[in-house]
Every structure is written in C-alpha cells, then in structure tokens.
Amino acid sequence: MTLLDSSVAGTYRDYQTTLETGTITLAKLEYLADKGDIPLPLFFAPVPVVQTQVKAKTEKLLAGVSRETFSIGSRARVELRDIELIVKDLIRKQQLLRDVDRSLAPNKIVGLLSKPGPSYETDAARLMSAIGLSHDELRACRKKETALELMIDRLEASQVLVSRSVNNHMPQRLTHTDASFSGMTVRDNKIPYIFLAGGDHGDREEPVGRTIFTLTLLTVLVARRMFQPMTWDGGSAETEPGLEYDIAGAMLMPTEQLNARRLSSLEDIKEASDVFKVTPSAVTVRGMRLGIVGRDVGRAYLAELREEFAGRTSGGPRNQILPENAVRKYGGREFSRRMLTALDAQRITAGDFCRAVCLNLLKPHQINDLRRVVG
C-alpha cells in the first residue's frame, strides 16, 4: 500500500479492487508497478527500505513543488499523486531547457513580492509593470480569450512558462481532481512554470474569466516565491482570501476603476466583468471586499450567478485538438519556441525533441507542424 498510495497507480481501479478483495495477481501487480513507475522488486523489499525509497522520491518531487496546497475559499486539498506525473514532466522540461538554452537570464518575476509593499495596490502595480502589462491593454481586448492570450504572452516574454491542461495529451489525466485543483507553480529561479488545470471546477464559473483570474493568482504566487498547487472557489465570500487574492484582484480590477463603475444591479456586475475580463463572481467578491457591494446583496448576486451558470449547457462536443496544438498548449509556446531554436542549433536531436518536448505526440517529420503553430 505504501508504494501504490504514493504513486499515480493508487488512483487506478485495479488498485481499488485489490483493497476491497485483499488479493492481487502478479499480472495486475506488474501492470500497477509499470503505471506507477515503481520497480517490481521493491514490492518484496523490507518495509524500512520501501519507506526510505518513498521518502526519497517525495523529497525529489517536492524540490519543485511544495507539499502545501494554497487554498482560497476552498477546503479542498490536492494529493501530489494526482498531479505527480505532470509535476515530474514540467521539472524535466525546465531542466532540459536550462541545459540547451544559453540565452536564459535571471528571472525578474520570481520573488519580486517576497517582501510585501506598503499596500496590495502598490504590489499589484509593481507586478503589472514587471510583466509589461497595463490595465488599458487588458480593457482594450474585445474578448476574454484575447486578454488571456495577451497575459500568457507577456508572462512568457518574462521567462515565466505557462502550461495548460490538455487531457489525453499530457502525462497524466486530471479526473476527480478537476473540481478542486485550479493550477500550480513549479519552482525554478530562471524559468518557473505555471500550470493551469482548466476543466470543470465545480463552482459554476464562466471558464475563460475564471482562467484569467487563476493565471493572475498563480503569477502572484511566483512573485511571492510560493511554489505549490492551488485550489480556490471563485464565488466564495465566506472566507478571508488573503494578501495574494487582493493583489490579483487589484491587478485585474483596480480600486479606482472599479469605484468609478455603477454596481447596483447584477447587470452592472456582468458589464463590469466584460470590461475587466473576469467572471461576474470575481467582480462581486472584489466589490464586497472594497465595500462597494454590500455583503447581503453580494451573497444574493453570487447565489443567482451560480444558479444561472448551472443552467447553461456545455455547448456540445468539443472539436478534437490537433497534436501540434496540444504540444504547444501543454508545454507552452515559449518553451516550444526555445526548444525549436535548440533543435536548429543541434543541441538536441530530433528524436529526443519528439520524446521530451512532444511526448511522442509528433514524429520527426511532423516537427514543422509545431513550427507553424508556434509562429
């Protein structure tokens, strides 16, 4: 149990069946060992040896991600085994890029806000300036999707890599963690990774606006030198979200600009959410924290928004993503671009590129497809 509980194999149905029946065949044990990346002989080793190996693996894994979960308005926790293979892969990508890219500079975002400034508004302005992003630019975006891409471009230009979940095209499928796991930050002094979980978070939030706020929160974590998984409930007003939440709120919804808007109805809230490129729930909670929206009125708005979004349909089946688009989205555009440069400079072979960068979703003759979508 110690070995399987600490690995992704602990989430497999065969393991749950084994716990229920108390027996397992050698074939199933070999299967689970392979899925969990566990040497089979370790299952027959003395317990102290097993415990030592599990501890060593956990310490190595946590070198890039803290054991703690950063939770805002959520009581959910993230089990590391649920994201273990993704963490390992992103750390491998960081190491590979450091090995082949000689142009990497010290990162100016990591630790920028380690020491809080005189106010969270000041910290928000400082972080916005560091990533080269202005409120006017965000407001000028006609769609939230455009604003999200703009933010990612500016972050990656600052050597903060952004990975987005693409189920069936990354090392580990996110299943039961979707409702609680929002994303994570992975440690590196030059090229930290932000991973956006995406998916249905169970909080009945409009997805793109939610992703924008999640990305902003994770950016604040990088600036605060906090590298850990994150969960948050975008429509919660019942808990104290803390400094990081207020900094993110000020980055997207500056106090002066929000104060200048009329927020006396739910329609006003929705209009503001389109202006600031966030969800109506985010506007409501921010307004409540600033005293613009009363607590009772705000709670009523949040309840109504939850009901409204719960009644929406998913819009039908999604189009299947092309493998080159999946590679760009999961690894990130900047990572893909830099690795293509290393490939052209012959600092990595085409075979190793397809394995490490593309997770074998692309063959060597398809690398130009990735060039085309990376641009």
Residue 238 has a pLDDT of 64
- Render pLDDT for 94-109 as a digit per residue (tens, 0 to 9): 999 999 999 999 999 9
Residue 9 lies in a domain: yes
Note whether 215 and 339 are same-domain residues.
no
Mean pLDDT comparison of 21-25, 59-63, 155-159, highest-scoring range: 155-159
Of 303 and 58, the one with more pLDDT: 303
Rounded to whole angstroms, the Cα distance separating 281 from 306 reads 9
Q: List strands edge to edge, sheet with 70-72.
A: 70-72, 229-232, 183-186, 193-196, 161-164
Specify whether 12 is located in the same domain as 150.
no
pLDDT score for 261: 93
Q: How would residue 281 be classed by pLDDT, with cut points 50, 70 and 90?
A: very high
Q: Report if residue 68 sits inside a domain.
A: no
Give domain status of residue 286, yes or no: yes
Is the torsion defined by CA of 352, 355, 357, 360 positive or negative?
positive
* Domain end marker among 256, 278, 310: 310
Number of structural domains (the chain) is 3
210 pLDDT more than 80 = yes
57-90 pLDDT per residue, tens = 666 666 678 778 888 877 778 887 788 889 989 9
Question: For 23-51, what is the mean pLDDT?
Answer: 84
Asked if 214 contacts 279 with a C-beta cutoff of 8 angstroms, the reply is: no
Domain span including residue 261: 76-95+103-310
Going by C-alpha positions, the residue among 13, 266, 220 that lies closest to residue 110 is: 220
DSSP annotation string for 134-156: -HHHHHH-SSHHHHHHHHHHHHH
Q: Which residue do the tokens 């085309």 mark? A: 372
Q: Is residue 71 part of a domain?
A: no
What's the rounded Cα separation, in Å, for the pair 119 and 330? 35
Q: Are residues 328 and 302 in the same domain?
A: no
- Sort strands 161-164 and 229-232 into parallel, antiparallel or unpaired: unpaired
pLDDT at 237: 67
Residue 212: is its pLDDT beyond 70?
Answer: yes
| Mean pLDDT, rounded, for 337-353 | 96
Judgement on whether residues 191 and 334 belong to the same structural domain of the protein: no
- Which region among 210-224, 239-253, 282-296 has the lowest average model confidence (pLDDT)? 239-253
Q: What is the mean pLDDT of residues 38-62?
A: 78
**Which positions ≥6 away from 48 have C-beta within 8 Å?**
none
